[in-house]
Chains A and B, each alone.
Chain A
Amino acid sequence: MSKQIRCMKDLAVFSTLDIPERNKIGELACKRFYGKNEFLFRDGDAADTIYLIKSGKIKLFKVSAGGKEIILDILKGDDFFGENTFFDQAEHTMNAQAMEDTYICSCTKEHFAVLLQNPQTSMKIIQLLGEKLNNYTNQVASIAFHDVKGRVAATLLKLAGEYGSRSPEGTTIDIELTHNDLASLVNASRVMVSNVVGSLRQDGIIATKDHRFILLDPDALSAAVENPA
């Protein structure tokens, strides 16, 4: 049980709760390790569990009718998913796969409903869901209104905001991201994305090291979003 409490109490979503309430969460939650590339659930699986990421990264994606992998989101520590569980007899409508070794805390719909008795936790969950909705809406808008360079620039800036760590060189995006992953995120071909990345690298705006992107000149990247070629 002490492991369960350790797992949950550090999550931001429960940061406003007092110790007895956190202990209650510890009693309700389970903890599990998922290895890199392991699936947590697949599209069509019964949705009966809410997942909270303790550490690691999870990729949410769908597969199009043509068999193309469509990445919807990349989640990190403190993010939660599996929200379809809030509906009765629901199914997951996407796939969730670990991008790296990941620790997950989870609880059932019934247990999560108990946690929602706390208004602060409810508000936090609503806020996080609202952010998810904004993220999907922004992605649709970005595809509609930006060219590939603008989309790559916007995506790198967004990822830097969420996963960036400062280093002497610039801001390193702390995710192993292939050109294929980036292509799926921005909805462009891998070749096109490689060309854009090559161009940004040549202009000294970004660099890459160990499959990680480093933002050398975020202002120039922002300009690429605002002023499409």
Chain B
Amino acid sequence: MKSPKKTANSGAVDEIQTIVAGLDVMSSLLTEVKAGSKLGKTFVLLLNLFLLENRQPDGCKTIADLSVQSLADSVNMDCEELTGILSYLTEQGLIDCQTK
């Protein structure tokens, strides 16, 4: 049998690995949301806030003028903890967080 790396459709394997990585992120997020963890609660709150916003010309939704402090108060955690969660969501490519 030939080496799999040489014989496999490399474009398809790359595509599959990208989707599987996305699946890992979403399954972890789903678990956090279902478990009602701080990460899960923060993400659900953000989703609802995004729902209220209009879509920008670039297809993204932006929540303007939302302070970390007010968001932290809404989900009952301190700013440091929330910043860690926002960093995680940003690293996973789920949100983009820009500070003024």
Q: Please give the residue numbers on chain A whose beta carbons come within 8 Å of chain B beta carbons, in ascending order.
A: 62, 64-66, 68, 70, 72, 83-84, 86-87, 93-94, 109-111, 113-114, 116-119, 122-123, 125-126, 129-130, 132-133, 136-137, 139-141, 143-145, 184, 187
Contact = CB atoms under 8 A, between A and B. Distances in A.
B23 A136 contact: yes
A187 B77 CA distance: 22
Given A143-B44, A145-B48, A116 B29 contact: no
Interface string B20-39: 10111011111101110100
Given A64-B37, A114-B1, A114-B7, A133 B23 contact: yes
Given A72-B30, A132-B23, A137-B26, A116 B9 contact: yes
Contacts of B31: 62, 64, 70, 72
21 contacts: A62-B27, A70-B31, A70-B35, A72-B31, A84-B24, A87-B20, A93-B28, A110-B4, A111-B4, A113-B13, A114-B4, A116-B12, A117-B9, A119-B9, A129-B20, A136-B26, A136-B30, A144-B43, A144-B44, A145-B48, A187-B34
Nearest to B7: A117
Q: How large is the interface on B (under 10, 10 to 19, 20 to 34, 35 or more residues)?
A: 20 to 34
- The B interface is mostly helix, strand or loop, or mixed, namely helix
B16 A125 contact: yes
A136 B7 contact: no
Interface string B26-64: 111111011101000001100110010000000000000
Given A72-B31, A116-B9, A83 B4 contact: no
B71 to A, nearest CB: 16
Nearest to A64: B35
B35 A140 contact: no
B27 to A, nearest CB: 6
Nearest to A137: B26
